[in-house]
Structure formats: structure tokens, C-alpha cells
Amino acid sequence: MYLGIDVGTSEIKTLLLDGNSKIVAVAGAPLTVQRPHPHWSEQDPESWWQALNQALGLLRGQVAGQWKEVKAIGLSGQMHGAVLLGKQGNVLRPCILWNDTRSAKECELLTERAPELHQIAGNLAMPGFTAPKLLWVAEHEPQIFAQTAHVLLPKDYLRWRMTGEMVSDMSDAAGTLWLDVAQRDWSDSLLAACDLHRDMMPRLVEGSQPSGVLTDEIAQSWGLSPNVVVAGGGGDNAASAVGIGAVNAGDAFISLGTSGVLFAVNDRYRPNPQSAVHAFCHALPERWHQMSVMLTAASALRWLCTLLRCDEATLMSEVAQLTPAQRRHAPIFLPYLSGERTPHNDPWAQGAFSHLTHDVDRAQLGYAVIEGVTFGLMDGLQVLYEAGTELTQCSLVGGGARSAEWAQLIANVLNIPIVTHEGGEAGGALGAARLAWLAVGGDEKEVCTKPTERRRYLPQSESREGLLSRLQDFRLQYRQQVEARNLARG
């Protein structure tokens, strides 16, 4: 048995995989995000640990005697979060999350201090990344910065609690802006630009390599053998890629979770920071990937359902009943509830509905939201194409993969086949379990196969013309928002 743990933004998810690549059980525990000020997004690392123990208890209850057969554990996690630890391993402040945009000014400072940033890190400095967060802490919380002895990413904080080892993997570390992505090693110059040094960073391993073993105390507490190996693991998207079998150049997938990601595998380092495309290490050796990232995706639908006091399944069933005419006259929605990364790199972008009338009902609002997110994915695909990436089809993973309505819409807008897979909604947890298997000798060709195809959605040409017209309106609405903001600033 191989245990996968995924530290999401809204949930800790755990998954048990057997030696026949069958998902035996899945269990999760919810998390909440604290937003004490505008543009802030934080979580208490202790809440991850509590949620993990809750989820493991639920998982263990499902599998009884099989639990003792766990040989290895893999980790997947939300990227870019800054967990600051003191010399004694004490958490100094809440973790600043990936969708926190307070550090826009610090991005400019980092770019000034490290003119080599784009070449080495392969990415623009964006507020969601880890390095600008540390510059913000240094400026606004100097007493915290002075006490900081170690900086860990979210999944790596759990690893430290599990094994006593401070370790990260290449894919997650690539999202800090401190990694030399081509060399797969920390960059001393980029660390120095933030007044940090290599000794404060975790040791690096590949995602499919061992990083340590469970401590005796944790193994006893969880009812597992003390020699259970913990794999390097991966950032959530790289782990999802392993789970969906996107491990070779040309493979691609879309993840519809809290954020929206279009992920393409490369056999070499291919940065294109000018278009806000991310270039990161893959969780497997000698591979990289390009990524376009939206900060708000399926979470926009959850936001709307909370406002309308309805559940997502009900709303999506109503969306499915809309006529083509009702879709054409639905509002236009900008999904920038947390600002945006690709392609705009605009932390000040805001969500908005336009074209509202008395005739608009909640189903049309729901359609507008999933369409707006899909248009955002199209903007990301466009810059990937401009960066030289070629896609012939895309797998779809994450919570949004459960919706046939949304999958078909994505196929129509992106004009490529969209494929869903059995277990595709498992996302990073499945990839983490596969990385665990590899860390104890699994064969990549056997372990990292593509899961069984559930359904294939082909583009419908009769729908595309109307969607392209609405896409142009969507892009116009964003340009007008930027113009209005610039006017307001004088």
C-alpha cells in the first residue's frame, strides 16, 4: 500500500493506493482560509497537522487490516506558502498562502535586487511566490524576520512533523523564486537578494526519491511501521501530473481546483516569463514543465453558491438546462476574485459581472462563472502557444472534472479534445501515492500510466463562433477595468 497526502487550500486529502494501481480508499478533512486584511490569505500550519490526523483516522477506518501494509508515503501540496520557523522549530506567524497578493511592491524590489531573476528562476516575480513574501515580512514584521531560522513550504512543514527532516522537492522549490530551475539547486544570489542563505532552506531531493522515514513516535501514533519511507513528493500541480500520467514531453492537463492550471510537460527548461508563463521543474528527474495559472477557478463557483445559498450540484444541473439563447444572453464574468497571474500578472484585477438585466436568473450567473473561468484558461493557453508549446489534447483533473457541462465548455472554447479519467478528481493525492511507490523501487513505466479514460469531449464547432464573440467581450471588459483603474490613479 502507498499513502498519498495532498495539502490543499480547502482540504487535506488522503488516498491509499495498492500495488495494482487501484485506489483503495480516500478521505479528507476541511481547511479554512483567514483573510484578516484585503489581499491577505493565510492559514495556521497547526490546522494542517490537525486536519491530516483527522483525515488519516477516517482513512484508516475504511481499510482495517490493510493499513499495516503501507510501505511509503508521498506528499503533494499547495505551492508558494511561506512557513517561517524559529531556531526551535516554532512557527513564527501564520503561513502566507499562494493567493495572497500583499507583496506587489516587494516584487518590484526583488526584480531590482536580482536582475538575473528571470533567467535563473524562469519566472516573473509575482506576489503569490514565496520570495516576495519574505521581503514583505522583512519590511513590515522585522522582529519576525529576525527570528526566522528556516523557511518551509506547506507540504514540507508536514514532512518535518512526520520525519524530523527539513526537505523539499524540485517542483515545489521551483515556485519559491530561489531555485536555479535549470540546475535544480538553490541559487545563492537569489537567496541573498532576500537576505537569506542556503542553510535556512530545506535539503532538496527529486520527488520520486526518499526524503526520510516516519519517526517512531509518529509511526506508533498512526499505527504504521517505523520504517515507512516518505518520498520527496511534489507541488500540487506536478503531483497531479504524475497522478494523471502526464510525465512525458507533450503531455498536458488542466486542473480545476481552487486555482485553475494548464500544465504542459517539457523535456528541457523552457522559460517564457514575459508572458507570465511559469517554468518549473517536474516532480520527476530530468523533466520540466510550463504552466499558466489562474488564481480563481472552481473556487469562483463555490463563492457564487455561498452567495446564492445553493449547492454546486444543484446549480450545475440548472446550468445544464439553459438554452443556447439563454447562454448567449448570460452576463460576462471576470474571475479575478484574488487578482490574476497568467497572462496579466495583475494582483489588482477584480472579479466582476457585466451585462446584468432583470431577466438574468441564477442558472445564467452559474453559467457566466464557469464560462469566465474557461475564458481565463483560454487566455493562458494562448500564451503557452506563443511560448512554443503545442497541445493536441488535455486531460482534466480536480474537483471541476466532475462536471460534464464544464468539460464540454472547455473543449469548445480551447478547441482541443478534453479527456477525463477514472480517479481524475483525486488530483495531487494520487500523484503523491505514485511518487511514494517510486521512492521504494516502483518502475515509472508501470506506476505512472494514464488512468482509464472516463470520457472524451470533442470540440463542437457549432458552439464555438458564439463563444469566441463572448471571449472578445470578456477580454474587453478586463481592458476597460484596467483603463478605469489607471484613470482613477491619475
pLDDT in tens, 17-76: 999 999 999 999 999 999 999 999 999 999 999 999 999 999 999 998 899 999 999 999
Least confident of 201-210, 336-345, 363-372: 336-345
Q: Is residue 349 part of a domain?
A: no
Predicted local confidence at residue 166, as pLDDT:
98
Q: Is residue 149 part of a domain?
A: yes
Predicted local confidence at residue 84, as pLDDT:
98
Query: What distances in angstroms separate CA 152 from CA 54, 87, 127, 204, one per listed residue?
Result: 22, 13, 17, 12
Active site residue 236: yes
Q: Is residue 185 part of a domain?
A: yes
Predicted local confidence at residue 276, as pLDDT:
79
Predicted local confidence at residue 425, as pLDDT:
72
Predicted local confidence at residue 259, as pLDDT:
87
The band of 423, judged by pLDDT with boundaries at 50, 70 and 90, is confident
Amino acid identity, position 22: K
Residue 455 confidence (pLDDT) above 80: yes
Here the CATH number for the domain that contains residue 35 is 3.30.420.40
> Helix 404-414 to helix 312-320 angle, to the nearest 10 degrees?
60
Least confident of 9-18, 39-48, 387-396, 466-475: 387-396
Q: Is residue 103 part of a domain?
A: yes
**Preceding peptide of 459 cis, ω within 30°:** no
CA distance 192 to 198: 9
Q: Is residue 360 part of a domain?
A: no
Predicted local confidence at residue 65, as pLDDT:
86
pLDDT in tens, 246-271: 999 889 999 888 889 999 998 888 88
Residue 185 confidence (pLDDT) above 80: yes
* For residues 190-204, average pLDDT: 98
Q: Is residue 214 part of a domain?
A: yes
What is the tally of structural domains in the chain? 1
* For residues 198-220, average pLDDT: 97
Predicted local confidence at residue 116, as pLDDT:
94
Percent of the chain topping pLDDT 70 = 100
> Helix 236-244 to helix 428-439 angle, to the nearest 10 degrees?
80
- Tell me the backbone φ, ψ of residue 237, rounded to 5 degrees: -75, -40
Q: Which of 289, 234, 290, 298 is nearest to 260 (CA)?
A: 298
Predicted local confidence at residue 456, as pLDDT:
96
Joined together, the cell numbers standing for residue 204 give: 532538496
Q: Which of 349, 360, 348 is nearest to 308 (CA)?
A: 360
Average pLDDT, the chain: 94
- Boundaries of domain holding 127: 2-246
Count CB atoms within 10 A of the CB of residue 98: 29
Residue 161 confidence (pLDDT) above 90: yes
The band of 388, judged by pLDDT with boundaries at 50, 70 and 90, is confident
CB 442 within 8 Å of CB 80? no
By CB atoms closer than 10 A (0-12, 13-18, 19+), residue 357 is exposed
Q: Is residue 227 part of a domain?
A: yes
Instruction: Return the residue matching grid coordinates 520527496.
Output: 232
Pairing mode, if any, of strands 288-294 and 260-266? Answer: antiparallel
Residue 275 confidence (pLDDT) above 80: no
79 labelled ligand-binding: yes
The band of 402, judged by pLDDT with boundaries at 50, 70 and 90, is confident
Predicted local confidence at residue 281, as pLDDT:
97
Q: Which of 58, 66, 135 is nearest to 104 (CA)?
A: 135
Q: Which residues pair with 267 in a beta bridge?
A: none
Residue 386 confidence (pLDDT) above 90: no
Active-site residue, from 180, 236, 251, 346: 236
1 labelled ligand-binding: no
Q: Is residue 396 part of a domain?
A: no
